[in-house]
Amino acid sequence: MAGTTSEYIQHHLQNLTYGQLPADSVRPDGTVLSEATWTIAQTSGEATQMGFWAIHVDSMAWAIGLGAIFLFLFRLVAKRATSGVPGGLQNFVEIMVGFVDNSVKETFHGKSDVIAPLALTIFCWVFLMNLMDLIPVDFIPHLFTLAGFPYMKIVPTTDINVALGMALSVFALILVYSIKIKGVGGFVGELTMHPFSSDNIALKVLLIPINLLLEGVSLLAKPVSLALRLFGNMYAGELIFILIALLPFWAQWALSVPWAIFHILIITLQAFIFMILTIVYLSMAHEDNH
């Protein structure tokens, strides 16, 4: 692990990155690469050198793994569901399904077989990724350091790439359903003829750039708000846990336990907000009032 306080914080906030280092790069052990090489970054500087096409292996692995756990557990319950007295896991899954189903019925005003399963997946997946923040900050990274990995971030939602990737996926669905329900002409008209309109043709044409600017910003703000809200809250929570870990042992217990209990509310609330905003945005995409 890193020595100074600054190095310790930077170490815990750095992702395990896989990408291509350019030729003539100097590795930490002093070797010089004779050609461009795909490898795991050993320092934050190497991760920066790898550029846009680098992959955060830890974020990808933990996100996919937690998603697989969600699918496995819910599929297991679905296959073993009984009409008799349910077990603890089946009871929990039924509560989750009922909660999400009620949220969709109250918020979504269109007709779609996709929205409820999507909302359930989003809530459970984001919750599981957020839940990793409650694991002591040194525990898993230290185990991976012993195994030879220089970095290991275990909370995927503290990676802006994960949060933005999920938000852009929702944004793509917004565009698909907007065009499907309203048609290309209706979707373009919604962007160019609102909120300002006029019966005068010349004035209506003049208002098109203004409407396009306002509606375009409103449309693009949806994925940005989804991503930054989730990322910002989770990143701040993780940073507080890291700062607490720098304190003396007695102070860590005095502060980490209350913060962890409060953080349970945060990780649940952020999963719920991401889910409910997705439902709201897709409900708006299904509206065809003009």
Which residues does the annotation mark as catalytic? 225, 229, 233
Confirm if 88 and 73 have CB atoms less than 8 A apart: no
Q: Provide φ and ψ at 40, rounded to 5°.
A: -90, 130
Secondary structure element (H or E) that encloses residue 19, with its range: strand 17-21
Place of tokens 């906030």: 13
Q: Measuring CA to CA, which residue among 145, 139, 123, 160 is closest to residue 241?
A: 139
Q: Outline where DSSP puts E strands in 41-181.
A: 55-56
In angstroms, the CA 122 to CA 276 distance is 10
Q: Provide φ and ψ at 25, rounded to 5°.
A: -70, 140
In angstroms, the CA 129 to CA 234 distance is 10
End-to-end Cα spacing for the chain: 60
3-class SS letters over 29-58: CCCECCCCEEEECCCHHHHHHHCCCCEEHH
Q: Tell me the CA distances in angstroms from 15 to 50, 113, 210, one per residue in order.
A: 13, 37, 42
At 155, which amino acid appears?
A: V
Q: Measuring CA to CA, which residue among 252, 250, 232 is closest to residue 242?
A: 252
